[in-house]
Structure 1
Amino acid sequence: MTITHKGQSTAISLDQLLADWEEQGIRTVLFELPDMHGVARSKLIPLNKVRGYAEKGLNMYGGTVALDSRSFVVPGTRYNEEKNYADQMLIPDLSTAAVVPWLSGTARLICDAYWQDGTPLHAAPRHVLRRVLAELDKLGYEAVIGLEYEFYLLDPMTMTPVFNGLHIFNTSRNLAVPVTERIVELMPQIGIDIITANCEYGPGQFEINYGAHSALHAADLGFTFKNGVKMIARQLGYHATFMTKPFSDQSASGAHTHVSLVSKATGQNAFLDADDPHGLSPTAYYFTQGMLKHANAAMALMAPTPNCYHRFVPHHFAPSNISWGPEDRSAMIRAKNSRDERTHLENRLPTALSNPYLSIAAVIAAGVLGLRDQELPPAAVSGLAEEHSEFPPLPTTLDEALDALERDDEFRQLLGDEFVEVFTRAKRSELARFKAHVTDWEREEYLEIY
C-alpha cells in the first residue's frame, strides 16, 4: 500500500520501505518532529513496531512543538493547559525516509503533527511552510531554495574555538580538525549534496554549502544538516554551535537563504530577464520588494533570539538596513544576476540559529505578498547599500521584530494566526527570562567599583 495523509502521497510504499530497511540491517527508526527552534524532538522505534505507528500515528506530548529555547512549557501557547496537556499524533512523511549514516543501524522519518481528531497543529513549522507554499502555488510558481550555514567548532570542555586567529579559506585550518571531512563524507549519504566546505572568518568558524532543492525538501535538509553536524561533532569530541553570536569579539554566523522561482507553466526560471539592465524579471523585482516591505515582521523568524541582533552591524558582511543591490554583500537582498538559469535572490537576514522551515516560510511569504502587490523596489544604488541612509534600518531587538510581526496583518495572515500567537507567546517568555538575568558584563562593570 501507499501511505496517503492530508493530500500528501509518497513515492514509496510502507511495505517496500520496511522491506528495504530490514534488508539493510536497520534495527531502529527515529520518528523526528522539528520543533519551533528547528531542534529534532524524537522517539526511537524498533523496526518491527514502525508499521503500526506509521499507519496510526505515534503519540507525543502535544506541547513539544511549542517548548521555549530551554524546553520550558510556556502557558498560553494553545497546546498545553488549553488541551489538558494532551498528546499529538506524529504522522511520518515517507518521502523523508533515510538511513542515518552517522548512527549504527538507524533510519529516520520526519513527521507532521496532528491532534487525535486529525486537526493539524498549525504552529508546527512544517505546516507553516506548507501553508505558505500553497499560496505560492496559486500564483503559478514553485520555489527553489539553497541554504548556507556557518557554525563554530568548540572544545567541549572549555567552550572555546578549536583554533585562534582569522584564517578564512586557509587550507591548514580547513582541515585542522576532522569534523568537516567527516561531514563532507557522510552528508551525501543522507541526500545532502555538499558543494564546498571551508573555515570562515572567525576562529573555529566553518561554512559548508550544499545544493538547492524545492522549498519543503530544502527545509528538511536544513533540519537534517544542522542536527547532523552537531551529532557528528559530538562523536568526534567537539561541540558544534549554530548560535548566532557566541563571542562578542568574533564573527556572527548566518544562514543566507537563496531563492528562485520556477514557472509551473513553462518550467523556466521566473527571475531571469536577459534584456533587463540587471538581468532580472519583473517577478524578481516584485519578490524583492515583498521581502523589503515585510522585512521587519520576517526578521522575528529569521533572527529569533536576542543574541541574533548582535549580528546586524555595518561592515560585518551582515545587513544593517532594509536594502537590496546587485551582487552587494552589504545589502539585505543580494541579487545574483548571473543572466542564466542560475539567476536568483539571496536573502542575507537569516541567522544560523534560525529554524529553516520558518526562515524559508518568511522569505516566501514576503515574496508572495510582493507578487500580489506588484510594486517595484527602490532603484539600485551605487556603492555599498549599507552606507546609504535612504534605506530604513532593521529592527535592533527581538522585541521590535515581534511587535512588527504582530502588526503586519498581511504577513501574519499568510503564516496563520495560530502560529503567530504560539510563536510570539513562546518568544516573549524567553525574552522575559533574558531581561531578568544578571549578566557577566553587569557584574564586571559594577560589582567591584560600586
Structure 2
Amino acid sequence: MLPKKTIQEILQQLVDQNTEKVKLAVTDMDGILRGKIMSFDKFRAVVENGFGFCDVVFGWDAGDQAYDNVSYTGWHSGYPDAKASVDVQTFRQIPWENDIPLFLADFRDVNADALPICPRSLLKNIRSRAAKAGYNCSFSQEFEWFNFINNTEQLYASKFSALQPMTQGMFGYSVLRASQNSEYFNSLFDGMNKFGVPLEGLHTETGPGVYEAAILYSDILEAADRAVLFKAGTKEIAHRHGFIASFMAKPNEQLPGCSGHVHQSLWTKDGKQNVFFDKKKSSGISSLMESYIAGQLYCLPHILPMFAPTVNSYKRLVEGAWAPTTITWAIDNRTTALRALPGSASSTRLETRVVGSDSNPYLAMAGCLAAGLFGIQQKMKLKIPATKGSGYQDKKNGILPANLWEASQAMKSSPVARELFGDAFVDHFTSTREWEWRQFSKKVTDWELQRYLEII
C-alpha cells in the first residue's frame, strides 16, 4: 500500500493538478455505489467536516423503490440528509474518466458517531474489534461475473429475455476466449491496477462470457473498498467496450452461478506473523484458525443474508453448481462452505465459499470476520470433522437456509447476530431483506404462466 497522505497533502496535490471536480461515493445496503460529482471548491469546504447526503440510500432497494418497513428513514421522516464523512485515504483517480479524483465516504449519526446501519461503518467497527484483540486482518475477494453484449434497449423491451453472452460455449481458463476479447480483457487488468485495485489474476470461467478476477489482498477495509470499486469499475469499463457486466448470482438456471469468495487470514499486531499458520501441526492449521473456522460454521445459519442477500442468491446455492449447500469445511475442497488453505507462513488462509458475487463486500467481510472472532473469543473447538469427498452429501451438521425469507427470519430472531452486529443493524438489514422477498413474492413469473395458464 502507498504511504498515507494528510488532507492537506491531498488537497495540495489536487490544486497542483488543476482539479475542477471530484467524485464522492457511498454504498447502499445492497453494496451499490451511489454518489455525486462535486466542484473542487465545494469539496475543499466539506472534506474535513463532512457533507449532507440524502439518507434515502438506506431507505430504498436496488431499484430505487422506497421501503415501507424500516424506521431509520422513510416518508415518515421526510428523507433528510445524513452526515457523510469523507475518508481521504480512499483517494484514487479514475483512469477511464480522465483521472477524475474519487473518494469514498461513510456515515455518522446525529451524535457524530458511526451510523450503525452503514455497511462501511459496520466493517470499521468489526475491524476495530479485531485490532483490540491484537489482530491485523488480511482479506481479499474474488469475483465471477457474466459479460453480455450491451443491447439495453432490447433487454428492456423484451423484459430481459434477450440476453446475448459476450462469447458462446463453456470456455473456463480459455486463453483463446481471452485473446479474442483482449482489448476488454487488458483494459480491465490495466485499468484496475491504475485505479488502485490491483488484480492477482484474471481469466475466463465456466460459462458463456464468464470471467473471474482475484483482487490482491490487503487490510480488510481496503480490501472491501477495492471489491466495491472493482464491481462498479468493471461495469463502467465493460460499457465502454460494448458489454454489460453482471454480478448477479445466477443469471441462468442451467449454468453455474457467480461467486464472490472471501479469502482471509489474521496476523499479529505488527503484521509479521500469520496466526493461522502452525508449522508444528501436521495440518499446518493453528488452533486459533480452528476456532475461527468453528465460529464461522456456527454463525453461518445466523448471518447468511450478509453473504447471500438477494432472492436470486439462493438459486446459486444448489447442489453440483460449485457453490456450497451444507455447513461443512475441509482442506482444499471446493464443495464445502469453508475451504481451508494451509501452506506457508505467508499464504495460509481461509476461503469462505458461501459468499456470492451479488454480496455487499462490506457486509460479507464484516460477517466473515465477526463470525471468526466469535469463535476465537468463545474458545470454540473445531468439533465438526473435515469433510472427505463431496460436501453436498455431508449433511450431518446441517444445511444452509434455502431461500431469502428463511435466512432473513433466522437472522432476525438470532441472539448471535444481534450480539455480533447490534440491534439497529440487524433490524434494519433484515427488514430490507424481508422487503426484497415481498417484492419477489407478489410477481407473476413466466414459469407460473407456462406451468398453470392453460392446464389448470
Structure 1 residues 375 and 115 mapped into 2: Cα distance closer, same or farther (>3 Å)? closer
Does 1:403 find its partner at 2:409? yes
In 2, the alpha carbon distance for the partners of 1:204 and 1:11 equals 38
Structure 1 equivalent of residue 35 of structure 2: 42
Instruction: Please identify, of 17-26 and 409-418, the stretch whose mean Cα deviation from structure 2 is larger.
Output: 17-26
In 2, the alpha carbon distance for the partners of 1:180 and 1:412 equals 42
Structure 1 equivalent of residue 332 of structure 2: 327
Instruction: Please identify, of 78-87 and 275-284, the stretch whose mean Cα deviation from structure 2 is larger.
Output: 78-87
Which residue of 360, 363, 376 maps to 2:365? 360
Structure 1 residues 164 and 265 mapped into 2: Cα distance closer, same or farther (>3 Å)? closer
Equivalent pair of 1:66/1:422 in contact (CA under 8 Å)? no
Matches within 5 A, 1:70-219: 70-77=63-70, 78-81=72-75, 83-157=77-151, 158-177=162-181, 178-219=183-224
Equivalent pair of 2:336/2:387 in contact (CA under 8 Å)? no
In 1, the alpha carbon distance for the partners of 2:163 and 2:337 equals 31
In 2, the alpha carbon distance for the partners of 1:408 and 1:134 equals 23
In 2, the alpha carbon distance for the partners of 1:413 and 1:25 equals 48
Equivalent pair of 1:92/1:112 in contact (CA under 8 Å)? yes
Deviation at 1:194, TM superposition (A): 1.4
In 1, the alpha carbon distance for the partners of 2:42 and 2:387 equals 60
**Deviation per residue, 1:280-302 (Å, 9 max, x gap):** 00110000000000111221110
- In structure 1, what residue type is equivalent to 2:431? R
Structure 2 equivalent of residue 13 of structure 1: 6
Structure 2 equivalent of residue 254 of structure 1: 259
Deviation at 1:72, TM superposition (A): 1.5
Please list every run of 5 or more consecutive structure 2 residues that lacks an aligned counterpart in the other structure. 152-161
**Deviation per residue, 1:382-415 (Å, 9 max, x gap):** 2233322323111111111111212321332221
**Deviation per residue, 1:185-218 (Å, 9 max, x gap):** 1111121221111110011110011210111110
Structure 1 equivalent of residue 19 of structure 2: 26
Instruction: Please identify, of 377-386 and 164-173, the stretch whose mean Cα deviation from structure 2 is larger.
Output: 377-386
In 2, the alpha carbon distance for the partners of 1:74 and 1:222 equals 26
In 2, the alpha carbon distance for the partners of 1:67 and 1:40 equals 13
Equivalent pair of 2:136/2:271 in contact (CA under 8 Å)? no
Does 1:393 find its partner at 2:399? yes
Q: Percent of aligned pairs with the same residue?
A: 28
Q: What TM-score does the superposition give when structure 2 sets the normalisation length?
A: 0.93
Structure 2 equivalent of residue 307 of structure 1: 312
In 2, the alpha carbon distance for the partners of 1:218 and 1:107 equals 19
- In structure 2, what residue type is equivalent to 1:58? F
Structure 1 residues 98 and 172 mapped into 2: Cα distance closer, same or farther (>3 Å)? same
- In structure 1, what residue type is equivalent to 2:278? D
In 2, the alpha carbon distance for the partners of 1:117 and 1:340 equals 43
Structure 1 residues 159 and 19 mapped into 2: Cα distance closer, same or farther (>3 Å)? farther
Please list every run of 5 or more consecutive structure 1 residues that lacks an aligned counterpart in the other structure. 1-9
In 2, the alpha carbon distance for the partners of 1:85 and 1:66 equals 8
Task: State the Cα RMSD in Å.
Answer: 1.7
Deviation at 1:230, TM superposition (A): 0.5
The runs of at least 4 aligned residues of structure 1 exceeding 4 Å deviation read: none
Deviation at 1:145, TM superposition (A): 0.4
**Deviation per residue, 1:308-365 (Å, 9 max, x gap):** 1011122222111000001111011101011432001100011000000000000011
Structure 2 equivalent of residue 7 of structure 1: none
Instruction: Please identify, of 143-152 and 22-31, the stretch whose mean Cα deviation from structure 2 is larger.
Output: 22-31
Tell me the secondary structure at the aligned position of residue 175 of structure 1.
helix
Equivalent pair of 2:273/2:345 in contact (CA under 8 Å)? no
In 1, the alpha carbon distance for the partners of 2:51 and 2:420 equals 29
Deviation at 1:442, TM superposition (A): 0.9
- In structure 2, what residue type is equivalent to 1:73? A
Deviation at 1:84, TM superposition (A): 3.5
In 2, the alpha carbon distance for the partners of 1:113 and 1:446 equals 48
- In structure 2, what residue type is equivalent to 1:112? D
Structure 2 equivalent of residue 421 of structure 1: 427
Instruction: Please identify, of 59-68 and 421-430, the stretch whose mean Cα deviation from structure 2 is larger.
Output: 59-68
Instruction: Please identify, of 62-71 and 286-295, the stretch whose mean Cα deviation from structure 2 is larger.
Output: 62-71
